[in-house]
Structure 1
Amino acid sequence: MSATPPQQRRHLFGRGSWPEVSRIGDILRTETVGGALLLAAAVVALVWANSPWSSGYQDLVAVRVGPLTLAQWAADALLAIFFFVAGLELKREFVAGDLRDPRRAVLPVAAAVGGMALPALIYVAVNGGMAGGALRGWAVPTATDIAFALAVLAVVSTHLPAALRTFLLTLAVVDDLLAILIIAVFYTSSLSLLPLVAALVPLGLFAVLVQRRVRSWWLLLPVAAATWALVHASGVHATVAGVLLGFMVPVIHRGPGEGPGLAEHFEHRWRPVSAGFAVPVFAFFAAGVSVAGAGGIGETLRDPVTIGIVLGLVAGKCAGVLGSTWLVQRFTRATLGAGVSWWDVFGLALLAGIGFTVSLLIGELAFGAGSTKDEHARIGILAGSLIAALLATVVLRTRNRHYRRIRAEEERDADGDGIPDVWDDDTVRP
């Protein structure tokens, strides 16, 4: 069999189209700011929970407003906003983004699947013989926190090329979808069919309204809240309601004079709320673990739950993403894009090991909020994410000068038309 001519070979991490790259750039800027707020909220909670005034933090977490505590409102209601935005982004990617093309989707999908499967296997291998329900935490190290990862990129001042940033975001989108399925299937302890079936009524009404391009918040918000309340009452985690509502929103606008699709409109409205408020507030209530209260740092670090999570995030995520990418390259005989090396893929694979928001949520669902294993899981998540972030920083910083040169080429706009010159030529394809 003859070798594939170089000009016909498919490139991994190709540049893609300018509209898609521009849209993703806007998303990444919002997520980077949100990631900085998330880091700040987590640090404040961790310091407060281990200070002489820790009782004040615990009292605040336990404050009850209506049927739920503040911590429960943050996990069940505020994270529903986060998953609503994730649902919008998922539908946008599958309908009009990179994931609509199977040839472009295979890489981030394979990387996300490998990056979730291997951490789970490592956790199970470490905790396989343990009693006390330790195996329930198998999914904790499987999630990637895109906001946290982008905050690390902002701190290290890396000029990561557009193709690699797009890959990181798309991988995280697929990761979110798989995490949603895991939560819905494996962490629904009891199910009430009547509220679940009843939730279809406001969900269907919401779908009808958005299909008719209704944007009035005073009409949509009560319907969405009713859907959330009924899903919550059914025993399915209420964040699933956010995803279902996001899936209902149409992506494609009907005519050239109508402006952006409704999904894009809602995403612009709600992504800042999610990244700038909902996720940081959840991090504040979820990250405040007392090391002394968890049995001491020695006991915590010896717990197989902690060890499995750290190994899963640092080694499992990296090996899963990197190995899956190599397999895609091997079996499709594609080549890496211009200026991209396997060191760059290695750095991104390490960065994918930063698990936070969804990992903390799964830890609470697996072990019960406030339990000893939940506290050990939170410490494992924080430690594993920190180690992954530091290792990724070392790898990516060594390539920063190379990235700076590539980004300068990507952003050069000699003709002043607002589109960088590398995207002016319509013959450029990934």
Structure 2
Amino acid sequence: MGVFNATARNLFVCLSFFLFLVSLTVPLRPVLAQSQKPAVSYEEKKRQANDIAVTVVVSGISCTCARFTEDIRNVVNDLGPDGVRVLPVLGVGGLQNLNDVLFLKNMDMAVVDEDNLRLLKKKDPVLYANIEQRVQYITKLYNSEFQVLARNDIKSYDDLKDKKVNFNLKDSQTEVTADTVFNTLNIPVQRSYYDNDEAMKRLMSGEISAMIILTGAPQVTFAKVKKEDGVHFLPLDQETLPNHQLHDLFANYLPAEITHEHYPNLIAEGTSVPTIANRALLVAYAWPENSPRYKRVAKFVDAFFSKIDQFNNPSRHPKWREVNLSADMPGWVRFKPAADWLATHRNQAVSANADSTLRQSSPELKLAFEKFMQNYASSSGGKTLSTSERELLFAKFMKILVEAKADQSAR
């Protein structure tokens, strides 16, 4: 009997030890943790994340539009439950950006060029018959300069006849506009479609004679190049192309310049290279009014426009000086929340545009306006000007300036 009891005790001890070892392999779950519920459920967190997100299709990562969208994201983003989150999406560029907003699911906005609407309607009048009702512009952003970098043996566009010229990626905005330019000039070339880095390598090796980029200057690829590399920018104007009719080209595009300030290593100080430019626009899909996505984009517009003054500092892209919230785009329809905001905040928008004009003006004009302001302040007892008063004063200053120039010309 004693032996039996000893054996039973030994079995009990072994079993207890075994159960102890097993318990060590089971995750400990404190009673407190089991009783607590998450602050936000998975489904609620998912809903909140989607309720604040808006997408923006941009071109390549080196494009000015990508930098602009990054600036917008950095200023506008608010990840709170009632905030706005901007999600940039890398697209192809050109007409494809507009097509992406038009046809892809869950694409809210894109950066496109002003001529895209006209070119798509021309390409397929039936498919794009009412495109302006489905994709509408929020605001004009910046000007995209048409930049052609060529080897030094190429003196003008005429010298590119039958030569190898890179038109950037197929269907990119560069390719679309370059096609228009070379067809207008009636200059046949051997087209290639390399990305910017590959094209630059082939340009330096002499495999191609020129490469084209349409974007806001300065462009990062060109900014790395020096005059000693044996390349230069080709001018595009009537003086350098006297045997070509450029009227239609300048009817659809803006006259522009590539300057020393853009590319100090390529363009001598005090000189510039004439060219054309396209307006880059921020556009939105016209979601049904009061739908969730419509409300999201409307909230973005309010946040973006309300903080427009925060983009005008040295940490942002210099092209922000060209933004004009209230600029009208012929052929395009303004997205209603943007139009409503401008109607409600007219003085703020006009003041921002006036400041933008001054930032782009010559030092002499800025100095003249400041002196004009000082004289006005002295005559009015030095009172602080409101936004509307400053805008009226600026308009008066510009009117006086225009009248003075007209009188001088008449003499």
TM-score (norm 1): 0.27
Structure with greater contact order relative to length (CA < 8 Å, sep ≥ 6): 1
Bigger proportion of residues as helix: 1
Greater C-alpha Rg = 2
- TM-score normalised to structure 2 length: 0.28
